A and B are shown apart, each in its own frame.
Chain A
Amino acid sequence: MPFQVALIAALLKVALILGSTLVVVPMLVWLERKLIAAFQARIGPDRVGKFGLLQSFVDGIKLVCKEEVVPNGVDRLLYFAGPVVTMIPALTVGALIPFGPPVKIGGYTHDLVMSDLPVGALFVLAITSLGVYGIVLSGWSSNNKYSLLGGLRASAQMVSYELPMGLCVVAALMIASQDSPTGVFSMRFSEIVDAQSGTILNWTAFNYHFPLLGLLAMVVFYICGLAETNRAPFDLPEAETELIGGYHTEYGGLRWAMFFMGEYAAMLNVASVTATLFLGGWRPPYPSPLPAGSVLAGFEGAFWLVFKIGLVILLYMWIRATLPRLRYDQLMGFGWKILIPVGLLNIFLIAGILTFAFPEKAPSVLVPAITSASSRAPAPPSMPGGMGGIQQLQIPGGTGPTPTAPPVAPSPAPGAPGVGGR
């Protein structure tokens, strides 16, 4: 692919991802207000535009036009940095989500993902964990005790709920490793989605090899997602009945709008990661009849991803309308005493199924990637340590937990990376 084509494709993808995030957020605000109104037997916004559809845009214009009031005694640098720091991670995650199969346009194959990192799943966790800085900094710099309390709550809550979230990502990766076409444990989002191809029973959440375990991982992940995005019933950092507005009490106008946008963008991120890790990503729930590589198949993939994200987000709003806010000790107890043990137990069960139900695959989860890596790039014998794994693997007998598995010779996997073991 010539450089110009790649550049244009990349710019188009950036515009698509950023643009859709920024356009979808006001729509989500409208949808949430309408839905909550319906749940509470009210009408909701209906003055501006058909069904009040333009309400969010009007609100946005109002916020932009408002006077910016900066209270006395704030730490100016951090006060202004807070909303920006909130927005950056929220807008980054979208770059990693594959939104369709590779399509052929003008003779070139384009992957429908901005950046398919080999450590994608970890990167998402890392980026979302940075989102807390915006909240903590704005809470601290506002020189207001309610803001400070909100910031304190946010930091403790987010650090606590990151752990079970990570455990659920591990569970999802383990399930995906069993079904992946390459037979290799991978953190690359495109490979995780490929592992879920087929029907709905191949999706991680409903995987028929791991009945209910995938679903359990998804539910725990989802609950942690609620806490990470400060959504009800975990909206303690901004609990308006206790803390006025929490960390954004002292913000108004455009800066407050950035917090608001950041929260909805974070919802969108959690929903898209949930859909990608657990609900098959862009994979339709049936074997797609469309020819691979066609533009139509690309649209089909994008449709299904948006559909799944929509379902997950509807659940967000439903939960907000249903559940009251937790108390702080309940929040901490729930995270540490229930979610983390459940997440750990889930990993144990999945590992048990992987080891005992697929004994021929259990070593293959690890070994082929490493042997193919070492056969592609043979390690020089005089290497000063650090690559012990590769050298050690070529010793027969030390390869895997099953004694019946043949010792891995350095000769297999001559072709494509990681196809051994199948």
Chain B
Amino acid sequence: MALMAFGVLATLSVISALGVILHKSPVRSALLLVTNFVGLAGLYLLQNAQVLAVFQILVYAGAIMVLFLFVIMLLNLAGDTSPDPLAGQKWVAWLLGVALVGGIGWGMWSVAGLSLPVSPQGIRATAAEQQGIQQVQVIGFDLFTRYVYPFELTSVLLLVGVIGVMTLTRRIPQGGSANDRS
């Protein structure tokens, strides 16, 4: 049952991920990315990581992709046919992609060999892990104790981004400095 669900969700994720890069229309690509996120959330649910699955939907599908769509609609991008601004980037992307897949595959092979997909220990979390990962308390506690520095650094990174955007988009009125604006 779980294996069947995994098969369906994994197929959905892979096909929609391929669609994201292969589809001509930007809006369709964005929607396929949403489908991909939903598939990933399903995969997290299979691992009993409910909190992670819900955050995947809430943050990525619910907020970030809506902003993507907002920008695509605002610029009214419909099937861009203009020549590629970075000539040859397609082939470089292929090369890097193949290298990435090869690297991941080699890493998995060297760790587990052929036994990875069939061994229950390979894909299932232990009982304690399942117990903990379900609990939002445990995740919160880890975030604010063990991983507090990475966590805070990430928020500082976001803050820097926000301030950068504010600085870049701020309109400076004629004949005065930016501080004059009320």
Residue from B66, B67, B134 with most neighbouring chain A CB atoms (10 Å): B66
Q: Does A224 contact B (CB under 8 A)?
A: no
Contact of A370 among B50, B51, B58, B137 (CB under 8 A): B137
Q: Does B4 contact A (CB under 8 A)?
A: no
Q: Does A392 contact B (CB under 8 A)?
A: yes
**Contacting residues of chain B (52-77) with chain A, CB-CB under 8 angstroms:** 54-55, 57-58, 61-63, 66-67, 69-70, 73-74, 76
Q: Does A125 contact B (CB under 8 A)?
A: yes
Inter-subunit contact A123/B142 (CB<8 Å): no
Chain A 139-164, CB-CB to B under 8 Å as 1, else 0, gives: 11000000010011001101100100
Inter-subunit contact B69/A155 (CB<8 Å): yes
Q: Does B145 contact A (CB under 8 A)?
A: yes
Residues of A close to B57: CB separation below 8 A? 126-127, 129-130
Inter-subunit contact B54/A126 (CB<8 Å): yes
With A130-B57, A133-B34, A148-B73 already in contact, the answer to whether A383 and B66 are too (CB < 8 A) is no
Residue from B50, B62, B141 with most neighbouring chain A CB atoms (10 Å): B62
Q: Does A297 contact B (CB under 8 A)?
A: no
Count residues of B near A (Cβ-Cβ below 8 Å). 36
With A156-B70, A389-B138 already in contact, the answer to whether A125 and B132 are too (CB < 8 A) is no
Interface residues of B (CB under 8 A from A): 27, 31, 34, 50-51, 54-55, 57-58, 61-63, 66-67, 69-70, 73-74, 76, 126-129, 131-138, 140-142, 145-146
Contact of B141 among A139, A159, A366, A376 (CB under 8 A): A366
Closest Cβ neighbor of A158 among chain B residues:
B66
Residues of A close to B76: CB separation below 8 A? 148
Closest Cβ neighbor of B51 among chain A residues:
A119
With A129-B61, A370-B137 already in contact, the answer to whether A390 and B132 are too (CB < 8 A) is yes
A176 to chain B, nearest CB (A): 13
Closest Cβ neighbor of B41 among chain A residues:
A126
Q: What's the Cα separation between A137 and B62 when bound, in Å?
A: 14
Residues of B close to A366: CB separation below 8 A? 137, 140-141
Inter-subunit contact A184/B70 (CB<8 Å): no
Residues of A close to B70: CB separation below 8 A? 136, 152, 155-156, 159
Q: What's the Cα separation between A360 and B136 when bound, in Å?
A: 22
Residues of B close to A126: CB separation below 8 A? 54-55, 57-58, 61-62
Inter-subunit contact B126/A370 (CB<8 Å): no
Closest Cβ neighbor of A149 among chain B residues:
B73
Q: Does A19 contact B (CB under 8 A)?
A: no
Residues of A close to B141: CB separation below 8 A? 366, 370, 389, 393
